[in-house]
Amino acid sequence: MNIGDAAKATSLSPKTIRYYESINLVVGDRLTNGYRNYADAHIHKLRFVQRARGLGFSIDDCRALLSLYEDQNRASAEVKNIAKKHLQEIEAKISELQGLRETLSHLVAHCAGDHRPDCPIMDGLSGVLHDTSEDESRLH
Amino acid sequence: MNIGDAAKATSLSPKTIRYYESINLVVGDRLTNGYRNYADAHIHKLRFVQRARGLGFSIDDCRALLSLYEDQNRASAEVKNIAKKHLQEIEAKISELQGLRETLSHLVAHCAGDHRPDCPIMDGLSGVLHDTSEDESRLH
DNA sequence: CTTGACCTTCCAGTAACTGGAAGCCACATA
DNA sequence: TATGTGGCTTCCAGTTACTGGAAGGTCAAG
């Protein structure tokens, strides 16, 4: 299987597959003409990585997960630890973004959005804290 | 005001302030000895950028916001548009992460996490869809 | 006059690709 | 057989927003 077909089979781009090879994540075979060649086992690994990346796992996590994937004697606890850590990171990110959304949606809601220069959003960014002490806590 | 004091006054690092200068975002003065020098107006701009970055605005957004900040005749609608667009991006990101959290927390919850190799997380990443059709939709 | 803290510039690295150029390879058609 | 088209190769650069570090200049204090 050439790289183009492997790309179609894995929903990855040829570029990405070459990149994964360059970082030694998934390395396929080579034909005598220099073309990369992918067997089923490679395709499975690439798809595995594609799904893991789709779940937001870092390349380093993918590397660890791949080696567990190949390990017949793995303990599921190891997999679970990686996943739990990633889950916590996701939850932290969600919290952070929810905080930003809070602040931003308040600012946006209070801005007239017309032709005049007066703007609570600008005031907020300038450090002119207008209303409540909540706003201050949001911006510091 | 030297860059170190400016850094303290703005909660930015000297490196970051130099970086902002290198991309022409906020450029201070220079003393004859080559040292950067920051007046109040510069400090205000830097703090403005610091707050905007803290709210997740991109550097490009900061550039646009700064020029509106300096524009006496700005329309608040322009500010609001930038903020609204950013707010939408944040909300999209939150949704995406919530989806990942859903999938991942299900997988983690069903993994025994012991010494045995059997692992629903691995199954999910391998494309072995175990339970409901919900899981399938989550992984595709 | 030296020490230490500051400042300067410049280069490289981060994460995970993506775009593009230059050139080889394979196959079908005229 | 020439040629066109598409796919393959490598390599370099760019993306975002900094951060680390090296090599060296400057300044105030003792």
Structural domain of residue B113, as residue ranges?
Answer: 77-138
Does residue A14 sit within a domain? yes
pLDDT given at position A128:
78
- Using an 8 Å CB-CB cutoff, list chain B residues near A116: 75-76
B134, pLDDT greater than 50: no
pLDDT of residue B21: 97
pLDDT at position A129 is 63
Confidence of residue A132 (pLDDT cuts 50, 70, 90): very low
The answer to whether residue A120 sits within a structural domain is yes
Residue B68, helix vs strand vs coil: helix
Task: Based on the fold, state whether residues B88 and B113 are members of the same structural domain.
Answer: yes
More confident residue, A21 or A129: A21
Q: What is the pLDDT of residues A22-56, one digit of tens each?
A: 999 999 999 999 999 999 999 999 999 999 999 99
Domain count, chain A: 2
Q: Do A69 and B125 touch (CB under 8 A)?
A: yes
Domain identity same for B70 and B81: no
B47 CB below 7 A from strand C atoms = no
Does the pLDDT at position A140 exceed 90?
no
For residue B35, which nucleotide's C1' is closest to its Cα?
Answer: C7
Tell me which H or E stretch contains A29.
strand A29-30
D chain positions with any atom within 7 Å of a protein CB: 7-10, 16-20, 26-27
Residues whose CB is less than 8 angstroms from the CB of residue B16 and which lie 6 or more positions away in sequence, other chains included: B7
Same domain, B36 and B69: yes
- Say yes or no to pLDDT of B100 above 80: yes
What pLDDT was estimated at residue B131?
46
Backbone conformation region of residue A127, classed left if phi is above 0, alpha if psi is from -120 to 50, else beta: left
Among B69, B78, B79, B89, pick the best mutation site for testing chain A contact (most A Cβ within 10 A).
B79
**pLDDT tens sequence across B47-79:** 999 999 999 999 999 999 999 999 999 999 999
- C-alpha separations of B62 from A62, B35, B38 in Å: 34, 25, 19
Both tokens of A27, joined, read: 């390395």
- The answer as to whether A63 is a domain residue is no
pLDDT in tens, A102-131: 999 999 999 999 999 999 999 999 987 654
Q: Residue A23: is it exposed, middle or buried by C-beta count within 10 angstroms (0-12/13-18/19+)?
A: exposed
Residues within a 7 A CB radius of strand D:
A 2-5, 14, 18, 34-36; B 13, 15-16, 18-19, 33-35, 53, 58-60
Residues B70 and B7 in one domain: yes
Same structural domain, B13 and B61: yes
Say whether pLDDT at A73 is over 70: yes
Q: Which of B43, B55, B68, B130 to mutate to test the interface with A (most CBs of A within 10 A)?
A: B55
Q: Which residues of A, range 13-32, sit inside 8 Å of B by Cβ? A: none
Q: Across B10-65, where does the E strand assignment appear?
A: 29-30, 36-37
Whole-number Å distance, CA B20 to C1' C13? 19
